[in-house]
Structures are given as C-alpha cells and as structure tokens.
Structure 1
C-alpha cells in the first residue's frame, strides 16, 4: 500500500510540472497462461502424473522523458493462480522491480543508462530478455551507447554483491555472476547487417573453504543477417575461453537459419545449430561445453525446454536440425517447427558402451490471433519423441510412452495514458 501511495504521489507531481517540456506514458500488461505439462523439460516416468496450472504476469510500465533525461520504472507481480488463499493479507511474491533505470543523452550520438535494465541483442542467443518466462530477465548495470546512422556501439559494466557488507564474505556469491563487462558493435550495410560481441563474465567460487576466487569466462563472436524481399537468413558463430571453477574453458557454437517467402502468406525455412560438448569418454580436465549464458534459450532447441534452460549445462553438446513452416493471414499466424536432436559427443551407457547419438524428435506447433489492438491470444502444442539415449541422459529408466506439453495464453497490453 505504501508503494502504491508513493507511485501515485509521483505521478501527480509530474503532471503538475509544466515549466519544462516533458513526456510521460504508462502501460499495463496482464498475461495469464495455462500450461499442461506431461514430460516438459525432462521425460516423465511411468507412474508419474502430468500437471497443469495457470501462471500470470501483471506488469506496470512507466516512461518519463525531459530534455536529455529518460527514465523507466517497470513493476511486476508474478504468481501462480491459487498460490495464496482467497482471503490472504499479503501476496506470496509481492511486487518486484523488473526495470528501474535512468538515461542521460550527452549528445545525439552518446548516452548512458544505469540501473535495472533489459540487456538484449540480435537474436537473443547470448543476451536476451527471456520474455517467455513470466519474470523475464534484467540486469543491474551501466551501459554506454554510441549510435550514428547505421552504426551502434554499446559498452556495458556490472558489479554484483549479495549485500552491503563491511568485510569480504566467506561464502561464494552464487545468486548471480559477480562481474560482467561487454562490448557490442552493430552495423548495417544495405541488405546485410553484422554484429560483434565480446562478453566477459566473472563467477565466484570457493577455491578452498576460506579462499574465494573469481574466474572469468570470455564469450565472443559474430551474428550476420541478410534480408531481401524473399530471403531472410542469419549466421551466428561464438566461442568461449577463460576459466570456470579453476578449469580451462574451450567451447564454441555455430548456427545458420534460412527462411524463404514462398508466397505473401507462406514462409518455409531450414536451420542447423551445433553447440560443443564433452564426450563421456573424455577424462581430460576442462570445460568443452558451450553455455548460452543469458540467452532466451526457450526460443531455441525446441519449446519443451529439454536443452539449456536451467539444464543440460556442461553436458555432451547438441546438434539441432529443424524445419520452419510459417503461415499468416489477416489476424492469424501459424508455425510448425519439427526438430531432430543428436548429441554432439559420445554418450556412454551404464556399462561404458557407446550409445546412439540420436536424442529424439520434437514437434512444436503454435498459433497466434490478434483479437484487437491490445489483446493477443496464443497457444501451442509440443511433443517429444525421445530415444533411449535421451532416457539415459535424463536419468529416467522407465519413461512414459507420451511426453507432451500444451499451453494457452492471453496477453492484454493497453496503454493507460500519455501526455506531453
């Protein structure tokens, strides 16, 4: 209640100031989503029962602009329907700050933004908003940005601590990365755009019970896009070096997508992605498995989240071959994406015998309907046809015959008001 009073007072104050040119707008997003999970993110075993629930994001966005100053405050509540009693005095998750930043424009080319903010680039494979997750993803950081004509350079810096300590802590800061620095450059050349990323992330770990160390891992690479009236293609190549928990890191990934507009309404595409890993017959020290770090990983390697969504890290790697079929007409859009997954390196069974690298096939179907300007209806159905190798990796000895997932979501996003 106190927070709402503060927000209301701030709005009244801003609307009462007219001496300086100002802009203010407020928007709301309400996004309930029903999900039926029967083998989502991991094969379900015989005897285990599927589950269903409704989660909801409620987000209030406020933007303010005055001369060279811009600010944004985004508040949200994420809940599962029924996680608190109908007569509760307090919400389980409360109200959280998703974004809270201020930006100052030094001149038309340079600006700086500091505070809680979304950091998202290119196809969001390495740095993304993770908008599918109801809570999303944002960082406490300072970002300097240069943009002129078809060129943009961003320099970002973050330093994290668990609390306002008076002395150095004796336990690792495991909630997040300890430090991050990055440089992202983007340029547009006619039908071709190119981006280059260098990202340095430091994670804290206990080298000994009393000695905390920060190991830094570097992720760097390029993302290229070609677009014309018919073709939409992209290529991404990234490598990782440095150290993690005292061991050397040597990993890489490459992905290519080709999309062709066969007609005004119908598009067909093909893609392949390789993420390096470490074979289970490789006893040498070091990490060879590529980690997408802060990417919107739900958008890659199948919507059922079997790979790289809080799982499959430091594993045998992945090869993903997929087909994309897209049809749109008026307010409707339909997508069908079948994936064929293979391990990128050797998988051994319990007797140390090599297993087939084929992991399984997943089929994803989604549909979207724009009910009106501020209301979008979305839904989808996915099914995983897992192999015995995937069963072994998932640690499920007796999986059910059917592993599927279905969802239905309503996104209501009205602009509440704005003034200049």
Structure 2
C-alpha cells in the first residue's frame, strides 16, 4: 500500500472514531526547511575543499488520539534535500516513513504502559534525547512501564527493547543459521533502562541506569552500562545544574571505564542571564591495553552540547581524545526576537602527541555561536545562526585541515507548525 493512501485511510478511520466516541483528536503538521552553508562544519577544512550549500526539509503529519484510559500517536515524516527528487517522477524515492507510532494504556492514575516507535528524552537530553535538531530525529522501538505520581512529584520509567532486522526472510528467520545476528550498524540489539525522577520546591534529581547490548562481528554481544545522576537547584538568584555519568561493561574486545562530569551556574542580571559552566568527558584514544576510556553519549541530543558546529560526538569526525569544554552562554532580547550567544573553549581530555612524539597543547580551539530567533506568528518561527571555530595547532594536528583557513557555518530555518484539527 502506498504511504499516501495509508495517510488517507488513517484520517478516515480517525474521523469515524470521533463520530462514534468521546475521544480527543488533534491533527497537526510541520514543515521545516533549513538552509546551511558549511565551511569547516564538524571538522577543519582547507583550500582544497569547496564549501557546501544546501537546503534540507522536514515535513511531518502528527495525529494524536486519546480517551479516558488510552492514547496513541502516529507521526509521518518526509526528509529530503531540495532538488534530489526529479520534478516529474512516478516512484516514491523512499524518504517518507513513520517517525512515531505508539500506544499508551493507563492502568490507573499512576501506572501505564507505552509501546511502539517513540522518542526517549529525559532531563537535559545529554544521554537520552529526541535529537530534534536533526531533521529525522532519533526514535526507539521500545516498551515503557511508567509510574508517575503528581502528588509526590515522583516518576519512574522502566524501558525495554530487543531489536532484529529482516536480513533472513521468513519463515526461515526463526530457525536459520545466523538469523539472530543483528546487522543494523550503530544501533543496539538489546536495551534496558530505569529512570527515576523527583521534584521538590526549588530542586530536582534524576537517576538513570541503562544497559545496551551491541552485536559483535563474531556473533557475540557486548553489554555496556551507563549510570547517571542529573540534578538542579535554585539558591536565590543563582540556578545550579549538574550531571555525572559513568560507563562500564564491554565494547567489542575492550573493557569500558569512562565518565562525564558537568556543572553550570546561571545568574540573572538586569540585562541578560549569564551561564558559566564546565564539562569534562574522558577519553584518550588508546585501546592497546584493552581499556576503553572514551565516554560516549550514545543516544543524546549531542548538537545541544559542546558547540553548535558539532565537532564532538556528532557523526564520525570527532576523535577519541576526551573533551574539556569551558563555556559561557547568554541571551539578549532584540526587538520582538532574541539573540543567544555561546562561547566555548575546548581542550583535550588527555595528553596527545604529534607525529614526532612531541606533547601537544591541551587547547583545541575556541568556538563562537550566535542564533537569532523570531516568532513570526503563532505557528511560524524563524531562526538565523552563525558559528565560527578558531582552531589551535592541536586541533589541526588531531583532525587535519588548515586552521588558518576560515572555519565557519551559517544557517537559516523557518518552521511552520499549525494545528489542523482539534476536537473537544
């Protein structure tokens, strides 16, 4: 069945359900084109490379349905680069697919179960996030058992997932040799986690424990555990926030022992809020002793951390040398919009040497990020961004490229997100 026909049948079915029940239904949409100029984005460029210029668009249709004791959501999305599809074509290029498809059943006021393709986003999304900056986002096929009590301001989620692919056709899939081998690159084969959260008047605390099992080429499975403590409190005019994560277990043939620690303070001034923070992420890139000290925020919204130019933990061009990020963030109101500014000083998290064996400076570079935001209408927003990296000789030695070449990134994005229909 073509996906467009499926959209139509879904809407017709929901229409019939509305007539025959007291359900609440909301149909909304999103169109979000983003134009980017990349000239040193993610890693250093040089004179031999031309800048990249393109527009990528996300188009979504959201359908939310709820009754007294259950709800479900369907979200369809199309992701494409402008011009990649011919103006006249007969076959769908395959960029349209299901973004979310989940159902939630409420056993009581506190207990519920949620199953299907869904977003897993917690706290500041450092380790588990929806990655909504990326046009496609990040989704999980999982089951959640949830306890949420408003009176005590307490939440507990237990998540479970077990993944397989279709590389061996049915019916041989269940019994054939190698049928249990999971070949989807970069994804986990199995995952279990528990998340606890508690709110107080001026403070909050979350605890996370997650195990992810990754398929090895020899058909074994490596299990890596991540434990996190995330908290925040307000003391007068100062807001404090911090997180600490530790990783253990195994990754391939190596034992894992890595950590991330971050803390920041936000002070409100008469002109603008100021946030000063530091984050240390372990790593040295040396696996010769069978120890992996490279912390990885595997499923987080990593674009929101360590600079918007995505030099660290986004894609493959990141290096495994650890990161020490000292940053200052602020935001100004300009007319009807706002301008946020971020300043990052990046240093290695370990000692690094050049090709001659000389010790490199820990300083990797300084990044400046500027983003202007303006709400054009209730369902229309516009953003304009510019970032520049001032790389050090250490960055050039670790990444290649030419640090004397200008390293910058500019983008603009307009988002239309209207509600098409909402029942009472």
**TM-score if structure 2 supplies the norm length?**
0.93
Please report how far the alpha carbon of residue 327 of structure 1 lies from its aligned counterpart in structure 2 after TM superposition.
1.3
The secondary structure found in structure 2 opposite 1:379 is strand
Q: What SS is found at the alignment partner of 1:16?
A: helix
Alpha-carbon contact 1:200-1:218 (below 8 Å) kept: yes
SS in 2 for 1:273: strand
Task: Give the aligned partner of residue 135 of structure 2.
Answer: 134
CA contact (8 A) 2:37 2:54 kept: yes
2:183 aligned residue (148, 169, 173): 173
Alignment-derived partner of residue 354 in structure 1:
359
Cα distance in structure 2, aligned partners of 1:313 and 1:177: 20
Shift of residue 355 of structure 1?
A: 0.9
Report if the CA contact (8 A) 1:318-1:342 is conserved.
yes
Q: Structure 1 segments of 4 or more deviating over 4 A?
A: none
Q: Post-superposition shift, 1:205?
A: 0.6
Task: Give deviations 1:54-95, integer Å, cap 9, x for gaps.
Answer: 000001000011231201000000000011111122343331
1:184 is paired with a residue whose SS is: strand
2:230 paired with 1:223: yes
Counting matched residue pairs gives 413
Distance change (3 Å), C-alpha of 1:410 and 1:278 = same
Pairwise mapping of residues 319-398 of structure 1 onto structure 2 (< 5 A)? 319-328=324-333, 331-396=336-401, 398=402
Q: 1:153 aligns with which of 136, 149, 156?
A: 156
- The offset of 1:227, in angstroms, is 3.5
What SS does the aligned partner of 1:257 have? Answer: strand
Structure 2: state its 5+ residue gaps.
Answer: none
- Map 1:6-405 to 2 at 5 A: 6-17=6-17, 18-149=19-150, 150-163=153-166, 165-166=173-174, 167-169=176-178, 173-175=183-185, 176-207=187-218, 212-227=219-234, 230-263=237-270, 266-278=272-284, 283-311=288-316, 315-328=320-333, 331-396=336-401, 398-405=402-409
Does the 8 A contact of 1:289 with 1:313 survive in 2?
Answer: no
The one-character-per-residue Cα deviations of 1:293-320 (angstroms, maximum 9, x if unpaired) are 0010001001000000023667110000
Aligned counterparts of 2:95 and 2:354: Cα–Cα separation in 1:
46
2:421 pairs, out of 407, 417, 420, with 417
* Residues 313, 198 of structure 1: alpha-carbon distance in 2 compared, 3 angstrom cutoff: farther
Out of 221-230 and 245-254, give the one that drifted further. Answer: 221-230
- Please give the root-mean-square deviation of Cα atoms over the aligned residues, in Å: 1.8
**TM-score, normalised by the number of residues in structure 1:** 0.94
| Greater displacement, 406-415 / 302-311 | 302-311
Aligned-pair distance for 1:331?
A: 3.2
Checking the alignment, whether the CA contact within 8 Å between 1:258 and 1:271 is kept in structure 2 is yes
